[in-house]
Amino acid sequence: MKRRPLRPASRRGGFTMLEMLVALAVLALAGAMAAQLLRPRSPRLRLEAVTRAVCATLRAARSHAIAADAPAVVAFDLAAKTYSSPVGGLGRLPREIAIRMNIAQDETRGAVGAIRFFPTGGATGGDIQLALGAARANISVNWLTGGTACALVSGGAAASL
């Protein structure tokens, strides 16, 4: 008895062109994803994310003070690189970020400074400068209105956040 071959004699073993193209496409996709994950994050983008988080905390604290009809304090610990508020809890700043604050003297205790928001909408006010590499950000809290203005500074031009 003769056995029939599983493949026709005219067909050779190997991969088809379509199979090779699919394999190359999968490898290219995996390589592109790996390159994005391994690339270091931009200092400007990291600073922008931190600035947005701090601004959101300050704005939420003002809203909380008005809604609760009680003062709300956002405290910054410059030594530990943290900030806290009754609304947002504890936030951490990256260790490599430089922080400078210009706030009311009554709101400073050693390495801890605070901005207090009042039920009337006002605040003790102050300015916070954040820096990471060449990227800079300015955060200003108006003492009269309690409004918070946040901006990234790049090459002399400021972009509001």
Along the chain (161 residues), what's the average pLDDT of each consecutive run of 10 residues? Answer: 61 80 90 79 88 96 96 96 92 94 93 96 96 93 96 75 69
Question: Which residues have a Cβ under 8 Å from the Cβ of 158 and sit 6 or more positions away?
Answer: 138, 151, 152
Amino acid sitting at position 77: D
d(C-alpha 86, C-alpha 148), whole Å: 17
Predicted local distance difference test score (pLDDT) of residue 6: 62
Predicted local distance difference test score (pLDDT) of residue 8: 59
CB atoms within 10 A of CB 108: 15
Predicted local distance difference test score (pLDDT) of residue 141: 97
Query: What is the pTM for the complete model shown?
Result: 0.74
- 10 by Cβ neighbours in 10 Å (0-12 / 13-18 / 19+) ranks as exposed
What CATH architecture does domain 43-160 belong to? 3-Layer(bab) Sandwich (3.55)
Task: Map residue 79 onto helix, strand or coil.
Answer: coil
Predicted local distance difference test score (pLDDT) of residue 2: 66
